[in-house]
Structure 1
Amino acid sequence: MSAWSKLLLNKPVLVCAIPIRRLTFQYLPASCEAVELRLDYLDNMELSPTLRRFIEDYVSHYPTIITIRERDEGGNRPVDPDIKYKILELSKDVGALIDIEASLLAKDPNTYGSLAEGSIVSRHVFNKGVNSYKLALNDIELAKRHGALVYKIFTVNDDEIMDLLNLMGKVGIHMAVIPRNPIYRATSIIMGSSLTYCSVKGKTGPGQLNIGMCSKIKLLRRSLSMFSTE
């Protein structure tokens, strides 16, 4: 069993999401169970020995997710696809868990298929006219076909959140549901979303709760779980 598979036994994993603007290592609060490095915040993102050392430093200290988000899925700035691929490949080689958009995987499975194995396949829905639930069903099959570890969906559609949360534990893959609405985000923690992304120094997404609040809600989940068994 991989380190991440073991970590996911204690859902939700509290992931501290950090917008990376400089390649400077920083220690995280003790409540952080993992870290997400959002590299799409870098001014000049390039594959370099400095970037490799930076990623390796985090991997040696924390379970680490590397994300280079596409602009149309909430990324901070446009990214060069070749550089993105090379950095994700490097990150996976040094032991990080990488995040790949389902849209990229569906469009170019020959390129991203091998990277998707054992990784996060993600979807980010910012359009209320999109049916997030139906999209998730298709994405989940795609993620499973490529051997992904986790399927993650962010959505602005509040009316689909409960349906998405009810999918968890029924689809044969770890699933993370990330609502924009902070109240539903707290609900997703209590219901056991595989991953919950929390802010430390600056939010990387709308509705993100800070790590202190995430930790309190997870403790509440544990208390409720103990109460239900008595």
Structure 2
Amino acid sequence: MSTFRNRSTVLAAATTAVLALALTACGGDDSGTKSAGPAKRNSAAAGSTSESAKDTDTTTGGDTTAGGDTTSGGSTAKNTSASKGSGTAKGSTGSASAAAPVCTTKDVEITAAYQGGPPYTHIVLTAKNTSGHKCEMKGFPEIQFLESHKENVPAVAKSKPAAPIVLASGAPAYALVKVSDGGKDEDGEPVSAFSVVLQGGGGQAAVKAPGASGIFADPANAKTGYWTYELRNGADDF
């Protein structure tokens, strides 16, 4: 009987040891839930770290640095570049280059000559740009022939050019002026010099009349054309 009990005790102890080893190898716990081994836990932690790194790149690096469309990257740089664009500058430069200052009496030399032969009813004013830069001849010459007649000689509307008259350095502009009807009974006076005002703030000049004895001017019949690049048939016939 003692031998049988001893064998039973040995078998029971061996069985208990085998069960303990089996439980340890399978990774069981008291709750019956299997837990991940050390290798699996380390792998999961590494994957989580990699995802965090990717998220960090998306927020502060990656495409942003390379000129992507994120808030802190390329789009902001592109928009800044666009805001620095040359639209305004070009606009400003274009306006400045297209505009020309008004010709003043310091910019042009004004002379007068007869137009045609007797009875010398018309003269031609020539304004030559001597300034060294371009300038614009505004409108028509405002002329007063007589000290006793302070009204400007009226302009003929049909002689107005379609575009502004901008003179390059050394270029002339012309204006045809009717001084009288050439009649004996006109109420006029001889004129050796007369005043010309340039419109647009160009100032006033004294112009010597052509001929040794000057011209005969009748303010009641006098008319002037606009400044033009050249005298034109029809438009400057009056």
Superposed pair shares fold, TM > 0.5: no
TM-score by length of 1: 0.20
Max radius of gyration: which structure? 2
TM-score by length of 2: 0.20
Task: Compare the two structures and name the one with the higher helix fraction.
Answer: 1
